[in-house]
Amino acid sequence: MIPVNELRKGSWVKHNGANVYVTQIMWNRLEVALNVTGDKQYQECKYDNLQPIILTPEVMKDCGFIKHELFPHRNVFYHKHFFFTINIIGTSYEVSYGLIAESIAMIYQKNLFLHQLQNLYFSLTGEELGVSFS
């Protein structure tokens, strides 16, 4: 389950196994867009029916991150001033990420999900992170 305070309009999450985004947040439920291409279909659901989307190399590419060519055998991605390294450990992923500004790199390491990446990106840039699932 995703903590309610991590969700906002536009957050991408999993609902019944499908990638959906939040279109409206209400006090005891929210609305998600089920069909993100063509005619949009909306459905109300409860918070506890949502699961986070794990950041995988494929999801990073869907968010506009580019795989760094200097590290062909590692999952290092960059996007503007951000860099991410995804370590695959068994069936789980560990994400290291950082912000590069004026020769200063801040590095964090934790399990990070797509909706949290969206929040982080918006907090630091004031822009929405584009997500386009292939």
Interval 19-47: pLDDT, tens: 888 888 887 778 787 655 556 678 888 88
Q: 45-83: per-residue pLDDT in tens? A: 888 888 999 888 888 889 888 887 776 677 778 777 677
Spatial contact of 63 and 77, defined as CB atoms under 8 Å apart: no
Q: 76-100: per-residue pLDDT in tens? A: 787 776 777 777 666 666 777 776 6
User: Residue 57: which of 22, 31, 95 has the closest Cα?
Assistant: 95
Q: CA neighbours within 13 Å on the CB side: how many for 58?
A: 4
Neighbours of 34 (CB within 10 A): 17
pLDDT for the residue numbered 92: 66
